[in-house]
Structure 1
Amino acid sequence: MVQVVLYSTTSAATLKVKTDITKIRHILDAKKVPYEEVDLASTPERRASMLAGSEGLLALPQLHVDGRLVGVADSVQELEDWGELDALLRGEASAAPAAAQ
């Protein structure tokens, strides 16, 4: 079973970040994907694992599968629109570098 992690924050400075977090939650919930949500505001020690899996990308929210970045909200939505997200969430494919940008 793959490990799906949503890195988020409860201290988002902008409405866009809050909306993006909600967008990814809704996608995962609609697909009934079990995932762990890591609030970096309350667990800052988990930031290192996020950065390691995303090659230093600081933007939030981030969706990771098995320790690797799948993307931020817009790229996750794009993967969903193109029908590529399901395979990534099952661990059957790797995220393309362009999907993470």
Structure 2
Amino acid sequence: MAKTTIYTTRFCPYCLAAKALLRKKGVDFEEIDVSGDPEGRARMTQKAGGRHTVPQIFIAGTHVGGFDDLSAMDRAGKLDRLLTSEAGATP
């Protein structure tokens, strides 16, 4: 399974939904909570190409985006392929 990282904050319903979808898919992920961490959020924003909202999800070195993006990939049948890739796959 591809390395998956999700940037979150506490009490974020979209973060909870994204983590639930990933768990449903059997994905082990690294969660980075940027609540109250301006430096961590700045790193996330830079890595996410300027997007500052949470969640921000990265799979196999690819920036997926937020929950809506993750969910759309799943509906389109692209998420499973990305989850089984090693690195650098295009969603």
> TM-score, normalising length from structure 2?
0.80
Q: Distance in 1 between matches of 2:62 and 2:42?
A: 13
Residue in structure 2 matched with residue 6 of structure 1 by the alignment = 6
1:40 aligns with 2:34: yes
Residue in structure 2 matched with residue 61 of structure 1 by the alignment = 55
Q: What SS does the aligned partner of 2:52 have?
A: coil
> TM-score, normalising length from structure 1?
0.73
Gaps of 5+ in 2: none
Higher relative contact order (CA 8 A, sep 6+): 2
How far residue 35 of structure 1 moved from its aligned partner, in angstroms, is 0.2
Indicate how the Cα distance of structure 1 residues 49 and 2 shifts in structure 2: closer, same or farther if over 3 A, else same. Answer: farther
Count of equivalent residues: 89
1:38-86 CA distance string (max 9 Å, x none)? 1001554433442233111101111112443112111111111111111
**Does structure 2 conserve the Cα–Cα contact (< 8 Å) formed by 1:53 and 1:67?**
no
Gaps of 5+ in 1: 13-17, 96-101
Residue in structure 2 matched with residue 90 of structure 1 by the alignment = 84
Higher helix share: 1
Indicate how the Cα distance of structure 1 residues 6 and 78 shifts in structure 2: closer, same or farther if over 3 A, else same. Answer: same
CA RMSD of aligned residues (A): 2.1
Superposed structure 1 runs of 4+ greater than 6 Å apart: none
